[in-house]
Structure formats: C-alpha cells, structure tokens
Amino acid sequence: MPLTATAATNSSDSRGSVKISVREWVFQALMTLLMDHDLEPGTKLSIAGLARQLDVSQTPVREALARCESEGLVVRRPNAGYLVAPLLGRTGLDDLYDIRLLLEPAAAENARHGTRPQPNWPACTARSSG
C-alpha cells in the first residue's frame, strides 16, 4: 500500500476503525523516514517534495517539520529551509551516558522499593509574590 494520508487514516485494528489527523500522520511518517535513516543527516528537506511524496498539502508538512525541529531531529536554516539534523558525535553520546549513570541507579533503587521519586528542590512556590 502506498504511503498516503488516506491509507493511514483509514487503517483499522481489532477494535474497529482508527482515525488520526493528517497532521499527526504526517509527523509519524516523517519520524519513520528519519528514524529508518531514509533521510540521511545533512539532507535538505523540501516541503513541496515531502508533500508530494506523502500525498498531502504543504501545511501539515510544515507543522511536522516544526515539531521535528523542536525535538532536535531537523534543523531550520533561515532562508534555506530544513536539514536533517546531524547524528550525535562522541561528546553528545558521552553526555547521554553520563546522564544515564546519574538517573538509572536512583530509578532502580526506587523500583526495588516500590517508591516514587520525590522532588528534591527548594520550595520555589513558598516565596511570596509581590
């Protein structure tokens, strides 16, 4: 079945018909293209080309690209359009592992005791507003 908004919005599951908005479908389709590396890092993205490929108008493509930009998957260049974001380098991966090393032991300890983490920051809301 071709990759079209009509095919996606008319799909069904065991509970019956599943409907999603064209905007959401385009975002999911674009995410699939990015995550499957069908669009390589650094590739210039054409709004008109993606709209033709997905058989939708340019508006949901623009919205999906803006959403992908907010998630760091594409980069918007003024007067140049969108590019697929580069892959993380060594420093970015090291930073991710450092964060995991900070978070995972505490999460495992909480899971072991069946507790939920409690915020441990100063009570900002206790300040008077005025």
> With a cut of 70, which residues of the chain have pLDDT below it?
1-17, 117-130
Instruction: Pull the structure tokens for residue 82.
Output: 């969108």
Instruction: Pull the structure tokens for residue 108.
Output: 């495992």
Instruction: Pull the structure tokens for residue 64.
Output: 């999906």
Measure the CA–CA gap between 64 and 72, rounded to whole angstroms: 12
What residues does each domain of the chain span?
5-84
User: Which class is 5-84 in CATH?
Assistant: mainly alpha
pLDDT score at 17: 67
Looking at residue 42, the DSSP 8-state letter turns out to be T
- Tell me the pTM: 0.61
Is there a contact between 36 and 64 (Cβ–Cβ < 8 Å)? no
